[in-house]
Amino acid sequence: MPRNTRRPQSAPRLQLSIVVPLFNEVGTLDELHRRLAVVLQRLGLSAEVIYVDDGSTDGTADALSALGSLDPRVRVVTLARNYGQTAALAAGFDAAAGDVIVAMDGDLQHAPEEIPKLLDRLDDGYDIVSGWREQRVDNLWTRRLPSKAANWLMAKLSGVSLHDFGTTFKAYRAPVIKRIRLYGDMHRFIPALASWSGARIAEVPIANIPRPQNQSHYGLSRTWRVLADLITVRFLLRYVTRPLHLFGPAGFASVAAGAAAGAWIAATKVITGAPIFMAHGPLLLLSAVLVQTGIVLVGLGLLAELLARIYMDGRNRRIYTVAQPSQRARVVRQVWAGPRPVPSRQKVLQ
């Protein structure tokens, strides 16, 4: 059940929310929060840190309770069981109250000290800033090469030119991320989904730090799930409001091929008088299957069109998004390089 997720209505407006999904990360939690606290102090923004306990079984919940009692900026969302990273991020985004939301992992593979990099790029007018693990330190065969191939495929199919879709380390403007409904393993496709509504997306290089615990909760077994979600994203981006444009061409092509084969068989019968089943039995069956398949595909397209209309009209959705001036607001804050602060900008959210 969510805990500490509500604030008094009189509470001041928050500028920054940091969302950290956790699953059995008790060994890194204290150091992570200590470093986050230093970063937030130097930023000088009104902020909250939302830890989402995704059904941990190693004492993470008790550690979070202790942190919540010591730091009023900490908010804890405890999920009833382990739902996965996408659900944990969605819970954190729903609970976040800041104008800007930063998501990061809780295993210290993302350095909290690099949060200002994301915020600086966001100040340039972008809606989403994604981290890019430019120099990977993972295993070449089981992590780097599959990741490189997957990122290339994702960029081509989604139309979003990012080098690293897989990292959780991203900064979002709250109105942008709160419009997106996550399910499955869709968290890695958030930039692609946001691009559909016109979000401006950038990326900045970040350090790829080896996990202190030297183990990952993910492996090659998720490859097929990623591919399935990629097909879903491709459909959502290009055909969600016009599904017949996907099914129609394939259906008409199948009907045309089947009809052409049938016409050729009929012409051969008329000209030569050869028995159809003896001379062209397999081709006749193939032509019949092609025609039936084409009819089914066109029918599926029409059915999908009706479902799309019900989906859009039933929720009063629009096929466009009007840009809001607040989405281009700047996050003005104190910025530093290294361990010491440098001269700052005015600490006001314009």
Residue 170 and residue 128 in contact, taking contact as beta carbons nearer than 8 Å:
yes
Q: Where are the domains of the chain?
A: 16-239+323-335, 244-314
- Say which DSSP state 2 is in: B
What pLDDT sits at residue 215?
Answer: 56
CA distance 314 to 312: 6
What pLDDT sits at residue 337?
Answer: 38
**What type of residue is 330?**
R
What pLDDT sits at residue 336?
Answer: 40
What pLDDT sits at residue 154?
Answer: 78
CA distance 235 to 292: 24
CA distance 97 to 43: 18
CA-based radius of gyration for the chain? 26
What pLDDT sits at residue 350?
Answer: 38
**What type of residue is 37?**
A
pLDDT in tens, the chain (350 residues): 444 544 545 556 899 999 999 999 999 999 999 999 999 999 999 999 999 999 999 889 999 999 999 999 999 999 999 998 999 999 999 999 999 999 999 989 899 999 999 999 999 989 999 998 877 666 556 566 777 777 787 777 777 878 888 789 999 999 999 988 887 778 888 888 888 778 899 999 988 776 655 455 555 556 677 677 777 777 777 787 788 888 999 999 999 999 999 898 888 878 877 776 666 778 889 999 999 999 999 999 899 888 877 866 666 666 656 665 544 445 544 444 343 333 343 333 33
* DSSP bridge partners of 349: 331
Residue 107 and residue 211 in contact, taking contact as beta carbons nearer than 8 Å:
yes
- Say which DSSP state 275 is in: -
What pLDDT sits at residue 299?
Answer: 93
**What type of residue is 219?**
G
CA distance 339 to 136: 25
What pLDDT sits at residue 136?
Answer: 66
Q: What are phi and psi of 286, to 5 degrees?
A: -65, -40
What pLDDT sits at residue 32?
Answer: 95
CA distance 308 to 302: 10
User: Residue for token digits 């942190």?
Assistant: 67
What pLDDT sits at residue 312?
Answer: 66
CA distance 266 to 276: 8
Q: What are phi and psi of 262, to 5 degrees?
A: -65, -40
The closest alpha carbon to 51, from 24, 78, 84, belongs to 78
Q: Which helix (H) or strand (E) holds 62?
A: helix 60-70
What pLDDT sits at residue 349?
Answer: 36
What pLDDT sits at residue 344?
Answer: 40
CA distance 77 to 62: 13
CA distance 160 to 201: 8
Tally the residues of the chain. Answer: 350
Instruction: Note the CATH number of domain 16-239+323-335.
Output: 3.90.550.10
- State pTM to two decimals: 0.74
